[in-house]
Chains A and B, each alone.
Chain A
């Protein structure tokens, strides 16, 4: 379930912690396994990570469900993480979310039929100065408007 390449990557993280504390590497391990499984986790992959790190499955699941960055449903090639926390909300994030949903024809949490994009509502990403904003991959897009969103989304491949 976990490829040898991923195991090697996990091992480098395990090595950073004292002997017997291999479960400390669970966050990185989940990230690594998620990356090689179309960017989402299932109970089987979570269990596999737990088994590899010799920890209870539920303990790995607690971590995997706590953090936003782990996905538990299939996601698109690109995830648009749009902020709807206070600054963005006051600057019209809700309208932009509606616009995005309209444009893509899917609700937040769903993937477009071509598997390219999904939208995820997230809390503050620390870019209030440029609210409203969203994040795609490692890139922040700030001071969004409906037109700007159209341009960005149309450019996704």
Chain B
């Protein structure tokens, strides 16, 4: 588009032909009032608030839908513009209840702000105002639809961004109502963004209702750590408590949106289940003590069980994926200083010799530019909502998307092909894809592909990848415990190399990229998580671990940790009976938003954040606890004044990467495969304690899905349970596969 010159309020402004006028005024910092216009949504031009005077046009024009042309002269402040804006404002206020004193939006309301500038002091309207009955649309969003000004931002958000049109305008004229059609309420995993886009108090945060005024809170920039994106947020705090979370713009990370998990998980911070005081176990009884007593007890325990006998290799450290980069670093540094390489964060992997290793070499924003994507083993929409959103945007502009999954999931975009394949067949299928790619490129076919059958599906998937200039292969969490996980990852690498595709590894979530960056994996001679729990270690340091959720085999893990002669130091943010059962010292640590630190997202972007609030009661940030523990152990090099010094230390050291096992096994396996997933709102301890999230439809997902044939084989029925999870018999699941989404702690898995 050509550069043109236009004149706004007498000033010459450069712009591109065809841009909407409001884009130009926003860029130039010229204020034009608006309600229905939102930069990330389509243009409705329904509120008419942005009317401006365009010279030559007989009537004022809406800035949001007026494309500019060379030489256009625009007045945003002259009498005609002002008079139109005032008139529109008067109409908008006719049916608005003006109940600002009891409205949660008061103080951060676009209508209030604009009314201050353009409204009249006195209303000429003496007739009755309309009243709209509210409907309950779920646990997250509070409605007061009498306040609605029909801007349709929430409607457009649902249809265009969330991908599920849930809100709509029913009736017409004075009877027009914005409401959802289904009584079950709003289902989207991004629904909370409707609160942010609503310019009035019609849609507000339900958990935050009547809590505070916006001006009473401090907003602290922060990073959400629930997934691989690290969405930018503002934590809004009052008197040392996080009261609400709203999205912060960052176009290269989360644009303007955040997932409901990121928005509402903060509720867990105030849960009564928080661990608040250090405790030590003396002769089987828990005793609350001061920090110095607890830490002294911990160091003596380590000395007695490990150091005095010169058995540093009998000490192990395990951490949850939600820890910060700094916490991972300090804990591995302690272990390595005392001479142990038993360090791991990969707690949910059945066979770590078969663990996935696949690099991610595409940026989040780059996902929008791909022309083809192959997603393998992921329910992307619920597991990585913001990554799914990027892919959906790409799809809307023409990107074709193929999926290989063990179960048919509800994607919010059109798939090119959805291949429901038994987990045992995935490696064989991908081997077929690789063979087909190599065949059509007339390349040499390696021996391990000799016996591989190239199916029609494989040819189709291969052709899509080969024919695209810019394709991406996304590997998801469901493959982690596939008997051929390593082979699958290696095959993907090979396919990507031969088709010039990029890869995105979303197989481990939360802050797992930081764990790898900090070297939180066993070094030479060290034991991995499973080996540690099988070996007879004498002491463990565990960072925010909840065995029934986090370990692949929680029964075995709990048994090992419960050994009488094993000394367990647990740093936890929440109380847990199982943890209390096996631990000897419980150290209360800060949860999300209570500690400073860094999140590393899937593209390797390190985003640091400060603590928004102090941890409750006696709980301390884990990095400080680990630093003091190191000091008490008289280890050198732990003199940090704040966490940013730890951050820069991590960034300046490099850990040797594992020697990568490149073996590929393409033989289809037999037997039933269990894909065990924590349900989307149960992925970490904070989300599990967030009451409103748990009350949503997604929060209630708790099922072991399998098809009829598998159910018969496993001798379970529709009303029964499988491994403690209710069975759902559905033909959406591939044969020989059980897909578990568990939101409760269960007895463990096979």
How far is B166's CA from A66's CA once the two chains are assembled, in angstroms? Answer: 17
Identify which of A43, A58, A66 gathers the most chain B CB atoms within 10 Å of its CB.
A58
How far apart sit A43 and B168, CA to CA, in the bound complex (Å)? Answer: 14
Given the complex of chains A and B, what is the CA–CA distance between A46 and B168 in angstroms?
Answer: 14
Are B172 and A61 in contact, with the CB atoms below 8 A?
no
A143 within 8 A of B: no
Say yes or no for A62: interface residue by CB 8 A criterion: yes
Would you call B170 an interface residue if the criterion is a C-beta within 8 Å of the partner chain's C-beta atoms?
yes
Shortest CB-to-CB span from B697 to chain A, Å, is: 16
B171 contacts chain A at the CB level, 8 A cutoff: yes
Contact A62 B170 (CB under 8 A): yes
- A62-B165 Cα distance, complex, nearest whole Å: 12
Cross-chain contact of B171 among A43, A56, A65 (Cβ < 8 A)? A65
Per the bound structure, the CA–CA distance linking A58 and B180 in Å amounts to 7
Contact between chains at A58 and B166 (CB < 8 Å):
yes
Interface size on B, residues (CB 8 A): 13
Docked pose: A56 CA to B167 CA in angstroms:
10
Q: Is B725 an interface residue (CB 8 A)?
A: no
- In the complex the two chains form, is A58's CB within 8 Å of B171's CB? no
A57 contacts B170, C-beta separation under 8 Å: no
Is B164 located at the chain interface by the 8 A CB criterion? yes
Cβ-neighbour of B165 out of A43, A47, A56 (below 8 A): A56
Binary CB contact string for chain A from 39 to 68 against chain B (1 if under 8 A, 0 otherwise): 000010011000000001111011001100
Give A130 to B164 CA distance when docked, in angstroms: 48
CA distance A126 to B171 in the complex (A): 22
Report chain B residues within 8 Å CB of A65. Answer: 170-172
B401 to chain A, nearest CB (A): 17
B107 within 8 A of A: no
Cα distance A59–B181 when bound, in Å? 9
User: Which residues on A sit within 8 Å (CB–CB) of B182?
Assistant: 57-58
Question: Within residues 458 to 507 of chain B, which ones have a CB less than 8 A from any CB in chain A?
Answer: none
Give A59 to B159 CA distance when docked, in angstroms: 10
- Tell me how far the C-beta of B245 lies from the nearest C-beta in chain A, rounded to whole angstroms: 28
Q: Is B720 an interface residue (CB 8 A)?
A: no
Q: Is there a chain A Cβ closer than 8 Å to B169's Cβ?
A: yes
A43 contacts across to B, CB distance below 8 A = 181
Inter-chain contacts of A56 with B (CB < 8 A): 159, 164-166, 168, 181
CB-contacts of B142-198 with A (<8 A): 159, 164-172, 180-182
A61 close to B164 (CB less than 8 A): no
Q: How far is the CA of A56 from the CA of B57 in the complex (A)?
A: 39
Chain A residues near B159: list those with CB within 8 A: 56
A58 touches B172 (CB 8 A): no
A65 to B205, CA, bound (A): 28
Report the bound CA distance from A2 to B180 in whole Å. Answer: 23
Which residues on A sit within 8 Å (CB–CB) of B167?
58
Q: What residues on B are CB-neighbors of A46 within 8 Å?
A: 181
Minimum Cβ distance to chain A for residue B244 (Å):
28
Across-interface contacts of B172 in A (CB, < 8 A)? 65-66
| A68–chain B nearest beta-carbon distance, Å | 9
Contacts of B180 in A (CB 8 A): 58
Chain A residue with minimal CB distance to B179? Answer: A58
Task: Establish whether residues B171 and A59, one from each chain, have CB atoms under 8 Å apart when the complex forms.
Answer: no
**Bound complex: CA A57 to CA B182 (Å):** 8
Residue of A nearest to B183 (CB): A43
In the complex, which residue of chain A has the Cβ closest to the Cβ of B167?
A58
Please determine whether A61 and B165 come into contact, CB atoms closer than 8 angstroms: no
Q: Which residues of chain A are within 8 angstroms of B171 by Cβ–Cβ distance?
A: 65-66
Kindly state the separation between the CA atoms of A62 and B170 in the bound complex, as whole angstroms: 5
Q: Which residues of the other chain, B, contact A57 by a CB distance below 8 angstroms?
A: 181-182
Contact call A59/B170, Cβ cutoff below 8 A: no
Which residues on A sit within 8 Å (CB–CB) of B181? Answer: 43, 46-47, 56-58, 61
Closest to B181 in A: A58
In the bound complex, how far is the Cα of B167 from the Cα of A61, in angstroms?
A: 11
- Bound complex: CA of A66 vs CA of B171, how far in Å? 5
User: Please, how many angstroms separate the alpha-carbon atoms of A61 and B168 in the complex?
Assistant: 8
- Which B551-569 residues sit within 8 Å CB-CB of chain A? none
Q: Which residues of A contact B170 (CB under 8 A)?
A: 58, 61-62, 65-66
Nearest residue, chain A, Cβ from B180: A58
**Between-chain CB contacts (< 8 Å), 22 pairs:** A43-B181, A46-B181, A56-B159, A56-B164, A56-B165, A56-B168, A56-B181, A57-B181, A58-B165, A58-B167, A58-B168, A58-B170, A58-B180, A58-B182, A59-B168, A61-B168, A61-B170, A65-B170, A65-B172, A66-B170, A66-B171, A66-B172
Give me the interface of B with A, judged by CB distance under 8 Å: 159, 164-172, 180-182
Nearest first, the 6 A-B pairs at minimum CB distance are A58-B168, A58-B181, A56-B165, A65-B170, A57-B181, A61-B181
